[in-house]
């Protein structure tokens, strides 16, 4: 079984890897002996993460990148392939929900007026779409360009349970971008299947990360979110590591085009306004 879950020596890119789920993906892959390039637009957080992980003895490189910058993203992926000689796994994970975002959930776990569509600004729509949909598209395209040539690879995007069903706290652009990214993932999975490249998505429920200003670290807000999770708690980023290794390794060799929820049962419960 250990052979099946092996990722040792893989060349891996993680976008949005300086915090939260992306950092957990990077740590999981590094701890199993992969060579990881973390790309993130937060230069300070990235530099701290790289310094710490290199001190721990991991093979990890940092690259400052905004995934909405398509030219720089292409260049950054080319740099990795030139340096590492291959590209085996890509976690296209960078994503945002700018304020009020996740915070706009009242204490009963219902959508607050800040997230009603008539209060949703063009600026917020554009920001979310640029990162969560355009950024995912640029990452998938750059990964596919290298992996189709190699005839191997695993691409994993981070969507959300809001791509599976409407959910209380989230507003217009975020679920729309995530659902569109999920459909793009399926389309690409079909297109690349015969070339030996697998494409899947991880759809997380609430995890305690720094998204939306770190609202899920706040005790009161946590309680509001906990009320919508059948397992009755918010997850810690470490809990995504097993699924990350599974999708990056040959343990999932016949799985492509799937969106796997990791959400404590949240997507099973009925949607609320
Ligand atoms: N935390 C949750 O509950 C949750 C639930 C569902 C989906 N997600 C998704 O998980 C992914 C990771 O989010 P997280 O919760 O770990 O948040 P996080 O804020 O802790 O981490 C996101 C990282 O992405 C980086 N980033 C943001 N915009 C970027 C850009 N344009 N280019 C490059 N890097 C950028 C940030 O600097 C940060 O390091 C996102 O796609 C998010 O939508 C999170």
Q: Show the 3-state SS of the chain.
A: CCCCCCCCCCEEEEECCCCHHHHHHHHHHHHCCCEEEEEECCHHHHHHHHHHHHHCCCCEEEEECCCCCHHHHHHHHHHHHHHHCCCCEEEECCCCCCCCHHHCECCCCCECHHHCHHHCCHHHHHHHHHHHHHHHHHHHHHHHHHHHHHCCEEEEEECCHHHCCCCCCCCCHHHHHHHHHHHHHHHHHHHHHHHCEEEEEEEECCECCCHHHHHHHCHHHHHHHHCCCCCCCCECHHHHHHHHHHHHCHHHCCCCCCEEEECCCHHHCCCCC
Domains detected in the chain: 11-260 (3.40.50.720)
Cβ atoms of residues 17 and 23 within 8 Å = yes
| Count of Cβ atoms closer than 10 Å to residue 109 Cβ | 17
At residue 7, what are phi and psi to the nearest 5 degrees?
-125, 10
Q: Which residue has the tokens 């710490």?
A: 52
Q: What is the pLDDT of residue 272?
A: 59
| Count of Cβ atoms closer than 10 Å to residue 126 Cβ | 12
Q: Which residue has the tokens 């992980």?
A: 53
pLDDT, tens digit only, all 273 positions of the chain: 999 999 999 999 999 999 999 999 999 999 999 999 999 999 999 999 999 999 999 999 999 999 999 999 999 999 999 999 999 999 999 999 876 655 556 556 566 677 788 888 899 899 999 999 999 999 999 999 999 999 999 999 999 999 998 876 677 899 999 999 999 999 999 999 999 999 999 999 999 999 887 878 888 778 877 888 999 999 999 999 999 999 999 999 999 999 999 999 999 986 654
**Pocket around ligand 1: residues whose beta carbon is below 6 Å from it?**
15-16, 18-22, 40-42, 45, 65-68, 93-96, 131, 135, 158, 160, 204, 206-207, 209-211
Choice from 135, 209, 231, 244 to test ligand 1 binding pocket (greatest atom count within 8 A of CB) = 209
Q: Would you call 120 a catalytic residue per the annotation? A: no
Nearest partner of 258 among 147, 128, 116, 157, judged by Cα: 157
Beta bridge partners of 105: 111
Interval 221-234: pLDDT, tens: 788 778 889 999 99
* Distance between CA atoms of residues 240 and 110, nearest Å: 26
* Distance between CA atoms of residues 104 and 116, nearest Å: 10
Q: How many angstroms does the Cα of residue 212 sit away from the middle of ligand 1?
A: 9
Q: How many angstroms does the Cα of residue 3 sit away from the middle of ligand 1?
A: 31
């Amino acid at each position: 079984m250990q052979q099946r879950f092996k990722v040792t020596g893989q060349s891996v890119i993680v976008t949005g890897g300086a915090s939260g789920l992306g950092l957990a993906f990077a740590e999981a892959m590094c701890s199993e002996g992969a060579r990881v390039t973390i790309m993130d637009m937060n230069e300070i957080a990235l530099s701290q993460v790289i310094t710490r992980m290199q001190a721990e003895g991991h093979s990890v490189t940092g690259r400052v990148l905004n995934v909405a910058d398509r030219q720089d993203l292409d260049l950054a992926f080319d740099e990795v392939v030139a340096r590492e000689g291959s590209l085996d796994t890509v976690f296209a994970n960078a994503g945002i929900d700018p304020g009020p975002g996740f915070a706009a959930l009242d204490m009963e776990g219902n959508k607050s007026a800040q997230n009603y569509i008539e209060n949703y600004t063009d600026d917020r729509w554009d920001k979310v779409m640029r990162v969560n949909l355009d950024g995912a598209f640029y990452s998938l395209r750059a990964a596919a360009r290298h992996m189709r040539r190699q005839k191997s690879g695993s691409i994993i995007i981070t969507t959300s349970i809001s791509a599976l069903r409407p959910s209380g706290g989230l507003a217009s652009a975020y679920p729309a971008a995530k659902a569109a990214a999920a459909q793009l993932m399926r389309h690409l999975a079909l297109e690349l299947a015969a070339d030996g490249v697998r494409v899947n998505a991880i759809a997380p429920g609430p995890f305690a990360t720094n998204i939306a200003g770190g609202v899920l670290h706040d005790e009161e807000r946590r309680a509001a979110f906990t009320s919508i999770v059948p397992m009755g708690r918010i997850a810690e980023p470490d809990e995504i590591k097993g699924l990350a290794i599974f999708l990056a390794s040959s343990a999932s060799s016949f799985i492509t085009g799937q969106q796997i929820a990791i959400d404590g049962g949240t997507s099973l419960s009925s949607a609320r306004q």
